[in-house]
Amino acid sequence: MRLRWRNSDDVEVDRDRLFARGGKITARVTGPELLDGAADLVRWLLAHPDVREGHYGYWPVSVIDGEVHERDHALEQWVRGADRAVRIHETQQQTCWDLTSDFEPPRAEATAVVAPGALRSERLEIVRYEYLAPQSGWFMGGSDGERVPLHLVVAARPEMLDFLALEPGWSVRLETEGARVQRREG
């Protein structure tokens, strides 16, 4: 028996085949815990009918032949499904909610300023300032350094991914014991 659920906004969720569908758009995921997020992604795409390739928050998504695709971990090719986009969006949104920050996700290919050796440091201070694209506003380990795409920064330090959608004015100290997050004054 297939379990289906139809929401009032006409996005259908199939819990057996693990997809959300609305209109002519289907978003597939690999686990039932991602289905509500997949439905939110479909709603977002339906509300933005001109988007066939764009960003769902931080991660790039595309609609190809009615199916949602996302970039692979290296941003090199499109793969069918929405796991990464949904997980990142939900986690970053929850972090912003928990900290009462506006949800302001940069794009995965936006750049951060990374001080020499910062990503190898046991303790890393990251700060978000006002910015203009293609920069993200994130400075890591200081104010001087090289511009590095965020997806490469996250590959080196995955624990910072959850915090990247915090609005400008936040700082995060990543340590072996966890993260300390605070809104900066001024």
Query: What are the pLDDT digits (tens) for 11-56?
Result: 999 999 999 999 999 999 999 999 999 999 999 999 998 888 999 9
Tell me what pLDDT residue 65 has: 95
* Every domain of the chain and the residues it spans: 4-99, 111-183
Q: What is the pLDDT of residue 1?
A: 38
| pLDDT (tens digit per residue) in 116-168 | 999 999 999 999 999 998 999 999 999 899 999 999 999 999 999 999 999 99
Pairing of strands 111-114, 78-80: unpaired
**Separation between Cα atoms, residue 112 and residue 146, nearest integer Å:** 8
Q: Are 144 and 113 in contact (CB under 8 A)?
A: yes
Cα 45 from Cα 84, distance rounded (Å): 16
Dig out the tokens for 40 from the structure. Answer: 């939110």
